[in-house]
Structure 1
Amino acid sequence: MSSIFSKILTWVAATVLVSLAGLLATSAFVSARLPGKVDFFARAQKVQLNAAREAYERGGRGALAAFLRRQDSDYHARHFLVDRRGVDLVDGTDRSRMVARAGPPAWPPLLPRGPLVIVRTSDDGAHRLLIELPPPFGPLQFLPYFLWFLAVIVALGYLLAVNLARPLRALKAAVERFGRGDLEVRFRSDRRDEIGQLGRAFDRMAERIETLLTAERRLLQDVSHELRSPLTRLIFALELARTAPDREAALSRASKEAGRLTELVDELLSLTRTEGDPAARVREPVPLGPLVRGLAEDCSLEAARRGGSIVLDADPDVVVLGDPELIRRAVENALRNAIRHSPDGEAVDLRVSRVDGSARIVVRDRGPGVAPEHLDDLFKPFFRVEADRDRESGGVGLGLAIARRAVGLHQGRIRASNADPGLAITIDLPASSTDVAGSATANA
């Protein structure tokens, strides 16, 4: 009996049986001691005895017989009047054995042992009234009347055991699958009791562990994949620096490859942090106006070196709830990507507005755009348009991937579309209640 199902069912059945046995025992105890113990019945029987004596003394055996027949009919019991020796005054039968059987029934009266005999003696001891009652019910005779009650209780106990044991078994199976490496398994219970709370705690734990392990695995895969080529070129450049006549050019090439390695490692670490521990994330109101204004100032020098500029159009009242560093990184990566791919002398547009209860950020360049079939690929790690792979400004292909993951952590959406000319990156984030209240106040 190691399962909770069998324990619950056994305890319910045992409780019902003990309760039923106690009820039957109490009923038998009370019913066995009721006759002769209640003064009301004793007085009524005394009245019967005096009436029987009066009928006998006035009318003899015939009157006594008629009186006793009426008592038998009225009380559904047999009545006899005997003398002090136990002889029946109506028919002369010796009823001394019946007198000897008088008294309360044996205890415990599990089964009836014959009729119950009650004796009432006159004050002078000359006459006795014998009352023979039908056999009383014993506890076992009551048992069939309680069987339906017992069956209902056991059925309800069975349902209770199933209701408790089934989700625990499902949770056990989920834990075992998770332990075998199935990180996507979840309990997903709608119960509001402690079992449901335990299941939701497991789901939160599994989600957290899956996020951490997935980020770690992705980081290892990305590092092993992307570091191979820069390291090979760096080793080759260092070898040239020792053997080539133009050592300055070789060292410059080595420095450039080392810089690309540093940039790659920084981007990989940033990508991993966006998928890190959910409990460590900051959630606070973030005004987007000051945030994008600061980004525009930081990136304006980079745009100016290419002869371009950043055109800012930001609603100062738009507020979102989230991690300001992650939101800043998402917008910054989209903005720097637009500057990098915008032709020399062209402006980059940066707009912030409120659309249907959401905060919308749009970053648009005026470059050549992207083929429609590659628009979704822009947000995949290390993806770059083929034409950019050999450009000095091509980057490492992680900026928009980081932006997508940062936006996803805020239940937002990021997408790319061709703007003819150029490419537009649109970020939609849920506006905070602060923003909605401020908007309502402004409209009023």
Structure 2
Amino acid sequence: MRSIFTKILLWAIGTTLVSLVGFALTTRLIWELLPGRITLIAKIQILQLEDARSAYEQGGPAQLARYLERLDDLFEAKHFLIDANGRDQVDGRDRSALLSHASTFPNPPKPVGNEFVLASAPTGGSRLLILIHSKFNPWGLLPYYLWIFLLIAALGYALAIYLGRPLLDLRRAVERFGRGNLTTRTGSTRRDEIGELARAFDLMAERIETLMTAQRRLLQDVSHEFRTPLSRLLLKVRLARTSDDRETALDRIKHEVDRLSNLVDELLQVSAAEEDPQSCDHEEIRLDGLLKCLVDEAMIEATAKGCRFALLENEPATVIGDRELLRRAVENVLRNAARHAPDGTEVAVALRRQGSTAAITVRDLGTGVPEDAITTIFEPFYRVGGARSRSDGGVGLGLSISRRAIALHGGKIVASNASPGLSVTIELPAVAHTAQSGSNLDLRGRDSR
């Protein structure tokens, strides 16, 4: 019997049976306590016995018979007056066998076939026998009590369903989750201990799914994206062995190594933050100061590519978050814009405070992207045609890392075609500016990549 459903149902039925036995025993105990409390029946029997004796003494068996007939009609039972030997005082029959089955008050009457026999206490050597004819059968009472049993069984069944079904659903959810379906949730809305257990499972499942997804994503990112940079690095190593200008060749190799190192840092940091958001170093950050610093650093790389950055607006804004994650997120957007900006053009950058939101907008004057790819460009490894090929230096993870980092801060990043060019907007929850926030202008970030 391993099913809790069966256990609950049998427990309810067993409880009912024990209750019935207890009821019967209690009734018997109360009946035994009646002599000292209820004597009406005994007094009636004494009165009947005295009247019967008086009738017998005054008028003999004939008058006794008439009196007993009146009692028979009045009480719908047969009455007999017997002597000490059990002989009937009316017709002289031996009633000792009937007397042997009689019960004396306060003992409960015992059925003899379809009859009950009662006997009064002996007085002056005489006793009154009362024979009650009845169709009463103890087993005949079962239909009257059966509905109670069925009702309790039905309530027990309902209780078993109420308690057993959510446990069965939870077991199935655990089995599905164990088979690899990490999206499995119970979605329980119960407010009892079973609901708390189900919600604890949901929290655990969500946590495990987040950890597994982050680890799987990191493994996919590393295995997918390092293939080409490593191949390019190996090629440059072979060229360096035969090159006359070893210094230049080594600089190129170092450049590739630095790019791989930076990419690993970004992936590890974002993945670690997704696995454990509490591990982030949350602090007040002056977003306007951080943006100015990043634009200045990115200007060198943009100039080398033939374009430039213009910080058109930079309104004061303070956010709460991890400085390094925000730095990487914004820097990737700036570098993506510089990578796709045509020669001689300007990449416009602006920071605006919009109520409780700080919005950074970066717009280049490139070719933009197809409308059906506006949201897809934030997916890992996605590139739009030749404009986003690996030959231009991109590895296909910058905007994906930015989106993940911004999401960890409760913000969002969206893109739209600006005709010409692409406009990328980062929105972050802003807090009220404080004087102490000015100290966060000291960025002391890592060197520009």
Do these two structures clear the TM 0.5 threshold for a shared fold by scoring above it? yes
Q: Report SS of the residue matched to 1:221.
A: helix
Q: Distance in 1 between matches of 2:430 and 2:109?
A: 79
Report the TM-score, using the length of structure 2 for normalisation: 0.79
CA distance, structure 2, for counterparts of residue 134 and residue 252 of structure 1: 120
Map 1:242-321; keep pairs closer than 5 Å: 242-278=241-277, 280=279, 291-302=286-297, 305=300, 306=303, 307-314=308-315, 316=317
Superimposed CA distance per residue, residues 129-158 of structure 1 (whole angstroms, 9 cap, x where no aligned partner): 222234696754433322111112122222
* SS of corresponding position for 2:53: helix
SS in 1 for 2:120: strand
Q: Deviations over 1:174-227 (max 9, x none)?
A: 222322222222222222222222222222222222222222222222212222
The structure-2 alpha-carbon separation of the partners of 1:112 and 1:19, relative to structure 1 and needing over 3 Å to count, comes to farther
- Which deviates the most, 113-122 or 383-392? 383-392
Give distance in 2, aligned partners of 1:248 and 1:390: 25
Structure 1 residues 272 and 324, CA gap change in structure 2 (3 angstroms): same
What residue number does 1:420 align with? 419
CA shift digits 1:234-261 (9 cap, x unpaired): 2222222222222232222212222222
Question: Displacement of 1:379 after TM fit?
Answer: 0.6
Name 1:147's counterpart in structure 2. 146
Do 1:110 and 1:139's aligned partners in 2 also have CA atoms closer than 8 Å? no
Partner of 1:441: none
Higher mean displacement: 342-351 or 63-72: 342-351
Alignment of 1:288-437 (within 5 A): 291-302=286-297, 305=300, 306=303, 307-314=308-315, 316=317, 326=325, 329-338=328-337, 341=340, 344-345=345-346, 347-354=348-355, 359=357, 361-373=359-371, 374-385=373-384, 386-387=386-387, 389=389, 394-409=393-408, 412-428=411-427
Q: Is residue 333–residue 403 contact of structure 1 (8 Å, CA) maintained in 2?
A: yes
- After superposition, give the CA deviation of every residue in 1:331-372 in whole Å (9 maximum; x if it has no partner): 454355446655655541222313xxx735241324225123
**Offset at 1:110?**
9.0
Out of 163-172 and 87-96, give the one that drifted further.
87-96
Q: Which deviates further from its counterpart, 334-343 or 159-168? A: 334-343
Amino acid in structure 1 at the alignment position of 2:68:
L
2-structure distance, mates of 1:406, 1:138: 82
**Residue aligning to 1:24:** 24
- TM-score normalised by length of structure 1: 0.80
C-alpha separation in 1, matches of 2:95 and 2:259: 123
Residue 216 of structure 1 is matched in structure 2 by 215
Task: Give the counterpart letter for 1:47 in structure 2.
Answer: L
Query: Structure 1 pair 30/142, CA: closer, same or farther in 2 (3 Å)?
Result: farther
Once residues 121 and 12 of structure 2 are traced to their aligned partners in structure 1, the CA distance between those partners, rounded to angstroms, is 48
Q: Which moved more, 1:135-144 or 1:235-244?
A: 135-144
Any conservation in 2 of the 1:32–1:104 contact (CA below 8 Å)?
Answer: no
Deviation at 1:431, TM superposition (A): 7.6
Q: Which amino acid is the alignment partner of residue 74 of structure 1?
A: L
Q: C-alpha distance in 1, partners of 2:135/2:28?
A: 9
How do 1:85-100 and structure 2 match up within 5 A? 85-100=85-100
Cα distance change on mapping 1:216 and 1:36 into 2, 3 Å: closer
CA shift at 1:325, angstroms? 5.9
Q: Which amino acid aligns with 1:272?
A: S
Matches within 5 A, 1:6-45: 6-27=6-27, 38-45=38-45
Q: Which moved more, 1:143-152 or 1:27-36?
A: 27-36
> Which residue does 2:74 correspond to in 1?
74
Alignment partner, residue 447 of structure 2: none
Cα deviation, residue 167, structure 1: 2.5
Deviation at 1:424, TM superposition (A): 2.3
Which residue is equivalent to 1:440?
none
Change (3 A) 1:231 1:109: farther
| Structure 1 segment 82-231 matched on structure 2, within 5 A | 82-104=82-104, 112-113=112-113, 114-122=115-123, 125-134=124-133, 140-231=139-230
Q: Taking every aligned residue pair, what percent have the same amino acid on both sides?
A: 48
Distance, in Å, in 1 between the alignment partners of 2:346 and 2:86 is 136
State the alpha-carbon separation in 2 of the partners of residues 78 and 88 from structure 1: 12
For 2:121, what is the secondary structure of its paired residue?
Answer: strand
SS of structure 2 residue aligned to 1:185: coil
Once the 2 structures are TM-superposed, how far is the Cα of residue 59 of structure 1 from its aligned partner? 4.3
- Counterpart of 1:53 in structure 2: which amino acid? R
Gaps in structure 1 of 5+ consecutive residues: 436-444
Deviates more, 1:326-335 or 1:28-37: 28-37
Q: What is the distance in 2 between the residues matched to 1:347 and 1:33? A: 101
RMSD: 3.6
One-letter code aligned to 2:275: G
Distance (whole Å) between structure 2 residues aligned to residue 90 and residue 33 of structure 1 = 36
1:78 aligned partner, one-letter code: K
Is 1:47 the counterpart of 2:47? The answer is yes
| 1:204 to 1:280, Cα distance in 2 relative to 1, 3 A | farther
More off after superposition, 146-155 vs 22-31: 22-31
CA–CA distance in 1 between the matches of 2:319 and 2:110?
81
Q: Is the 8 A contact 1:299 1:336 kept in 2?
A: no
Retained in 2: the 8 A contact 1:314–1:353?
no
Q: For the Cα contact (< 8 Å) 1:327–1:406, is it kept in 2?
A: yes
Within the alignment, does 1:3 sit opposite 2:3 as a pair? yes
> Structure 1: how far apart are the matches of 2:322 and 2:110?
77
The 3-state SS of whatever aligns with 1:132 is strand
Cα 1:214–1:425 shift into 2, 3 Å: same
Question: Alpha-carbon deviations, 1:259-317, whole Å to 9, x = none?
Answer: 222222222223323432356467x7x77xx532122231242355445432335475x
Cα distance in 1, alignment partners of residues 103 and 246 from structure 2: 127
